[in-house]
């Protein structure tokens, strides 16, 4: 997997700015979307980073070295991305509706990992849920699931 991620970045560095550049891996797209929400409030808390690692590890069953590389690449992608189209498109293509709802739940968990409900993070999650074609009721259900789990 790491080889394919590295090939992706090598291809981008060598390729011109045409629209036929390689798409990111599903793992990288998911991680970049998660990073984007975690940093939406302009503060990346250690608890958010720890939970992000845990979520990605559970979702993709990665070795530690692969997970470290994915985290690094996802951070770079989130920092440099102008929009989320590439990431959202890939997720919509490969995740069914239930998996997209689970991704929104993961995003909510990540957002609330620092015990703060920040309006910038909520706005970003709402926008991503819309782009992922997750209904508003499932968006709210995902948030309530995370809040209920925190109160236990």
Question: Is the separation of the CB atoms in 22 and 8 below 8 Å?
Answer: yes
Give the per-residue SS3 of 79-127: HHCCCCHHHHHHHHHHCCHHHHHHHHHHHHHHHCCCCCCCHHHHHHHHH
Distance CA 83, CA 88 (A): 10
Question: Is the separation of the CB atoms in 71 and 56 below 8 Å?
Answer: yes
List the domains of the chain with CATH numbers.
2-11+24-151 (1.10.3680.10)
CA 30 vs CA 24, 60, 75, 89, 149: distances in Å: 10, 10, 11, 11, 22
How confident is the model over 47-57, as pLDDT tens digits? 888 888 998 99
Distance CA 58, CA 71 (A): 14
Q: Percentage helix, strand, coil, to 5, in the chain? A: 75, 0, 25
Total-model pTM: 0.75
How confident is the model over 8-34, as pLDDT tens digits? 455 544 443 434 444 468 899 999 898
Q: Residue 13: which H helix or E strand, with range?
A: helix 2-14
Integer-rounded Cα Rg, in Å, for the chain is 15
How confident is the model over 82-141, as pLDDT tens digits? 777 888 999 999 999 999 999 999 999 988 887 777 788 888 899 999 999 999 999 999
Say which DSSP state 25 is in: P
């Amino acid at each position: 997997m790491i080889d394919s991620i590295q090939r992706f970045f090598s291809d981008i560095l060598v390729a011109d700015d045409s629209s036929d550049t390689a798409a990111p891996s599903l793992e990288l797209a998911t991680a970049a979307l998660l990073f984007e929400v975690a940093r939406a409030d302009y503060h990346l808390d250690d608890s958010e980073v720890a939970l992000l690692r845990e979520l990605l590890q559970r979702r993709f069953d990665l070795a530690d070295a692969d997970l470290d590389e994915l985290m690094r690449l996802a951070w770079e992608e989130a920092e440099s991305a102008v929009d989320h189209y590439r990431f959202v498109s890939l997720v919509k293509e490969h995740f069914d509706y239930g998996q997209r709802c689970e991704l929104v739940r993961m995003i909510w968990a990540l957002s609330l990992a620092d015990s703060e409900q920040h309006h910038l993070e909520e706005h970003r999650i709402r926008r991503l849920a819309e782009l992922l074609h997750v209904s508003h009721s499932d968006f709210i259900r995902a948030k309530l699931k995370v809040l209920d789990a925190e109160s236990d």
